[in-house]
Amino acid sequence: MSLPRLVRNSPDLTQLVNEGYSVRIHAGHLIIDDIPFVTAARTIIRGSLVCPLDTEGERTRAPSTHVMWFSHLPHTKDGVERSDLIHDRTRRDLADGIEVAGSSSQKVRGGDYPNFYEKVVAYAALVSGDAQAIDSTAVPATFKPVVSDETESVFKYLDTNSSRAGITALSEKLALQRVAIVGLGGTGSYLLDLLVKVQIRELHLYDGDTFSTHNSFRSPGAATVDELNAAPYKVAHHAARYEPLRWGICPHPTYVTTDNVSELLEMDFVFLSMDATEDKKVIIDTLTASDIPFIDTGIGVRQDSDGLAGLLRVTTSLPGHRDHLNDDQLISYRLGDAAEYETNIQVAELNALVASLAVIAFKKRYDFYSDTESELHSLYRIDSNEIINKYGEGSDE
């Protein structure tokens, strides 16, 4: 069995493996199994040390924290709890089944650990020393195979942002199989920029237009002159931008119409960031009939004497909560309809803002964010900097 790429590229992890430590990488955490712990009954059991894994690309960096979690609370050879070593006795699930009983906060010689080898060896000695006082063969080095889930992830490198922040378990709630973005213009491109960082297995992108100069000024990142001259499809251009980060970006260089709308029936969630058209009505009617959740966005900006003003709209449609779409005609299907938020002045920060509001609403549905109002329709007013929520608990009806 070859070593996982991250272990091969990181001297500190390689040294741990070479010295026989049972290294496991899971959900952005470094787990060292088979560490001997002493119980209150003075018996020896094998448990784990756990800490967030800090990386730079495909190798580790110095640990950002000196805290280490324990699968079991350590005791002395006499069965007395190591209160000098334990600073937190909170049992919790750190991420995806990584259960811990408490943690310790020990610094090395009063400072930070230079690498994960030094951190693991220091804590392993503190915990297993008591076990070896009972049984000299109770050593932490067992030379078992290295296990890693890094190849199972949608990301090409570990999501240490979630593990460092302690929100890996929340992030895993967003691990849907298929999500579609229909329309890769200004708002759609920012939706993609945010959603590629989510553990969605497949992101399907639909747009039949080419990427032009004006798109570059309302999209994330910067296109080169050569890229603009090549006039690639929007979906191809943006998919290539995020290919270094993850797998599972599926570009479809076509518009969604009556002929292919059935493809959206395979999705767990759909984002609509497209112009008002008759095709949009077909899409919404199809998603509604098939009970597929979706979010539709709109930007309506006008130029007044004092500058640009207008509204940004995020409208959510969920199973069992769809009547508001038609009852109040929240979504228009023809440019020029009365809905103010369906005009065509767009600015990058407004595209980014409405995309952010849409992704927040999406994440609320899966309990990543707390949600006290459960609103299904939000309007952001530019000139007054206020957000108006409707069709939810405690929101304006």
**Residue showing tokens 């497949």:** 202
pLDDT digits (tens, 9 = 90+) for 258-295: 999 999 999 999 999 998 888 999 999 999 999 999 99
How is the beta sheet containing 22-26 ordered, strand by strand?
Answer: 102-105, 67-70, 44-52, 29-38, 22-26, 147-148
Report d(CA 70, CA 44) in Å as an integer. 15
- Find the distance separating the first CA and the last CA of the chain, reported in whole Å: 60
Burial class of 304 by CB neighbour count within 10 A (0 to 12, 13 to 18, 19+): exposed
User: What is the rounded distance in angstroms from the CA atom of residue 211 to the CA atom of residue 228?
Assistant: 7
User: Which amino acid, residue 112?
Assistant: D
* Distance from C-alpha of 205 to C-alpha of 274, rounded to nearest angstrom: 12
pLDDT 10s digits, 128-187? 999 999 999 999 999 887 765 655 678 877 677 777 788 888 888 999 999 999 999 999
- How far is the C-alpha of 35 from the C-alpha of 128, rounded, in Å? 7
Percent of the chain with pLDDT over 70: 93
Residue 31, burial from CB neighbour count under 10 angstroms (0-12, 13-18, 19+): buried
308-323 pLDDT, tens digit per residue, is: 999 999 999 999 999 8
pLDDT greater than 50 at residue 115: yes
Amino acid at 27: A
**Length in residues, the chain:** 397
**Residues 142 and 20: beta-carbon distance below 8 Å:** yes
Place of tokens 């992890």: 13
Q: Which domains does the chain have, with CATH numbers?
A: 5-153 (no CATH), 175-390 (3.40.50.720)
